[in-house]
Amino acid sequence: MSELLDLVTEPSGHVATVAAWTDRYTHAVMDTFGPPQRVLVRGDGCYVWDADGKRYLDLLAGIAVNALGHAHPTLTAAISAQLGTLGHVSNFFGTPTQIALAETLLRLAQAPEGSRVFLTNSGTEAVEAAFKMTRRVRPGGQVGRVLALEGAFHGRSLGALALTAKAAYREPFEPLPGGVEHVAFGDTAALDEAFSPAAVAERGPVAALVVEPIQGEAGVRPLPPGYLAHARRLTSDAGALLILDEVQTGMGRTGAWFAYQHPEVGGGVMPDVVTLAKGLGGGFPVGAVIAFGERAATLLGRGQHGTTFGGNPVAAAAALATIGVIERDGLLAHVRTVGALLREEIELSGSPLVREVRGRGLLWAVVLNRPVAAQVAAAALEAGLVVNPVAPDAIRLAPPLILTADQARVAAQFFATLTVPTEPEETP
């Protein structure tokens, strides 16, 4: 520990401030994210502290990652115990935690016999694996089209980026893997056209449709009711895969293990593939691909895919501990209750700047009447709240699943203070 302290202490021996850390950051860390808003040094439950000692209520949870908040004793004990027993073995070998995690995910997903799990390090890696699976679907002997939705965000690695819709993310890295079409968000008529005989004759068959039940990065936009059921019928009729990206919405974030399991969201559908990450490890990097049924589970054969760290026993232990706490503490019901309270309190806050609150569970967007989300997020940080301006007119809230009712009311009280600015500024 003393060696670590030497590395994170100012050469003078003084305790570094946020400003000092930020200066060091800008000279050492690649500038892909811009300067950090704050430099955080510790966390406890739903709170984090910066290097100046200021406390913040974390309403973002590392972008929907820290399901159990910070420094949860069960999670830290599980990670420590596993690392002290067996840390990494490669995928030439299996481990009990890897196997138990795969079995647990199949149970939570209520996956049928023949289903299988591929463990990854992250969400984008899970999407990459799912994307490769679509190349193994050969309707009519052809490599089929892969459909995704306008507004979609599936990651920033090249395959996942091809599925991501935002031009600013895509264009600097084109050409991207081909065969991807983006159709209008939530528009069943547009989906019908993409699967129509005319479209198949002109552009080829459809191999897969990839969708998020709630688009997180696009401003927490839920798919309209009935959309996934319609998509299931079309994909089944075409022999195409229905792939649900639940990287952000999975593992209890919406008050169910998976968003599609809400009847009003999924309509009882069973997908072919689900991708997971973020909250799965409670802050430890781990992702997964669940393939439903024998057909999807055998699309990637031996030697056709791999990963060095996926299935790492420490990551698997973290995921098992996270799932165990969610089950033990009844956090799915808690998320539904506190999430509804959070939404209601913000809606009743009376702020003229708040237009609506949309989302589910503990994944919400506070939609503003003006494109001033960046200003609002900056004001929240000054007030001791961590939020995310996910769109020019939307603030994303994705707090730990352990958020209390009192903490939800604190968040709502902040929105009650918002007034309509006279000179709005757009989010950079």
> Which residue in this structure is represented by tokens 């009311």?
409
According to the annotation, is 247 in a ligand binding site? yes
According to the annotation, is 307 in a ligand binding site? yes
According to the annotation, is 246 in a ligand binding site? yes
Q: Show the 3-state SS of the chain.
A: CHHHHHHCCCCCCCCCCHHHHHHHHHHHCCCCCCCCCCCEEEEEECEEEECCCCEEEECCHHHHCCCCCECCHHHHHHHHHHHCCCCCCCCCCCCHHHHHHHHHHHHHHCCCCCCEEEEECCHHHHHHHHHHHHHCCCHHHCCCEEEEECCCCCCCCHHHHHHCCCHHHHHHHCCCCCCEEEECCCCHHHHHHHHCHHHHHHHCCEEEEEECCEECCCCCEECCCCHHHHHHHHHHHHCCEEEEECCCCCCCCCCCCCHHHCHHHHCCCCCCEEEECHHHHCCCCCEEEEECHHHHHCCCCCCCCCCCCCCCHHHHHHHHHHHHHHHHCCHHHHHHHHHHHHHHHHHCCCCCCEEEEEEECCEEEEEECCCCHHHHHHHHHHCCEECEEEECCEEEECCCCCCCHHHHHHHHHHHHCCCCCCCCCCCC
Return d(Cα 17, Cα 23) in angstroms, integer. 10
According to the annotation, is 409 in a ligand binding site? no
> Which residue in this structure is represented by tokens 């959070």?
342
According to the annotation, is 181 in a ligand binding site? no
According to the annotation, is 417 in a ligand binding site? no
According to the annotation, is 138 in a ligand binding site? no
Beta bridge pairs of residue 116 = 291
256: region left, alpha or beta (phi > 0 left; psi from -120 to 50 alpha): beta
Return d(Cα 136, Cα 294) in angstroms, integer. 14
According to the annotation, is 308 in a ligand binding site? yes
Strands 47-50 and 221-222: unpaired
Give the tokens for residue 26. Answer: 């800008």
According to the annotation, is 104 in a ligand binding site? no
According to the annotation, is 26 in a ligand binding site? no
Residue numbers in the known binding site for pyridoxal 5'-phosphate are: 123-124, 153, 245-248, 308
Binding site for N(2)-acetyl-L-ornithine, residues? Answer: 156, 307
Binding-site annotation, residues: 123-124, 153, 156, 245-248, 307-308
